[in-house]
Amino acid sequence: MDALIKSLRPNQSPEAKSSEGKLLEAKRSDSKTAAARMPDSRPAELDPSEFLAAAVRADQPRPSRAEAEQAVQTLLHYIGENPDREGLLDTPRRVVESFDELYQGYHQSPAEVLDRTFGETAGYDDFVLVRDIEFTSQCEHHMMPFYGKAHIAYTPVERVVGLSKLARLTDIFARRLQTQEHLTAQIAAAIDEILKPRGVAVMIEAEHTCMSVRGVAKLGAMTFTSRFTGMFRDNPAEQARFLSMLRGPQR
């Protein structure tokens, strides 16, 4: 039995078809113009001033410690607590001291950490990978912790940097208010700018408490981010080799 298929459009006069054709052509033209105006889709490069020096200058005006402790007292009042009860009497001081530790990365210079290199490499020309660098950072949206592991590889040109420096670099950027995407980009950009290697690969895997203990409350959900430069960006085989080494057996 033949099926009867009806058009969803009513019959149109030649004038209406001509008008519709002109409208479609105008829309295509507008679309092409908008596409031409769109910015370059390549990743934006970070400003070196963002990651080469300490984020806080010694002469930068800052609130006093007393003012910071008073701000903590205000927050305690806000949640309905009594800052004068015994268990909270020393809490403002402790919170400010913990901030000094958690956010010490603002006062450290990534360039100084990567400044010392070594030339005795016996002609080594493959990439160097340090994986499973544990870190803890603070989400800039909720000021709640996110934590996990960073995996960093770079292909040196004649000189290498001490392996512990890559872990220290990770901590400097992690001990600032962050997003995981920005943290990943900063680590890669700093190594690329300061060491001038043939390529850099950075992958970070982390759990964010701002989505595991609040909001959607999905405990155990992991976020993965990556950034590749140079040979890792341009050579899929090198990317694949980097990723395969991350999946290797734990020791």
Could you tell me which of 165, 222, 164, 230 has the C-alpha nearest to residue 201? Answer: 230
Q: What per-residue string of b and e applies to 152-181 under the rule 16 or more CB within 10 Å gives b?
A: bbbbbeeebbeeebbbebbbbbbbbebbbe
231, two tokens: 């040979």
- Catalytically annotated residue among 108, 186, 208, 238: 208
Is 208 marked active-site? Answer: yes
CB 138 within 8 A of CB 102: yes
- Catalytically annotated residue among 73, 81, 142, 207: 142
Is 107 marked active-site? Answer: no
- Catalytically annotated residue among 73, 207, 210, 239: 210
Is 210 marked active-site? Answer: yes
Under DSSP, the state recorded for 159 is B
Is 81 marked active-site? Answer: no
Cα–Cα distance, 152 to 136 (Å, whole number):
16
The DSSP element (H or E) to which 202 belongs, if any, is: strand 199-208
- Catalytically annotated residue among 108, 178, 180, 186: 180
Under DSSP, the state recorded for 80 is T
- Catalytically annotated residue among 69, 108, 139, 193: 139
Is 250 marked active-site? Answer: no
- Catalytically annotated residue among 25, 45, 134, 140: 140
The sign one gets for the Cα dihedral 135, 176, 44, 223 is positive
- Counted residue by residue, the chain has a size of 251
Instruction: Give 64: exposed, middle or buried? Use CB within 10 Å, 0-12, 13-18, 19+.
Output: exposed
Is 186 marked active-site? Answer: no
Q: How remote is the C-alpha of 177 from its chain's centroid?
A: 11
Q: What per-residue string of b and e applies to 19-30 under the rule 16 or more CB within 10 Å gives b?
A: eeeeeeeeeeee
Is 141 marked active-site? Answer: yes
Provide the annotated active-site residues.
139-142, 180, 208, 210
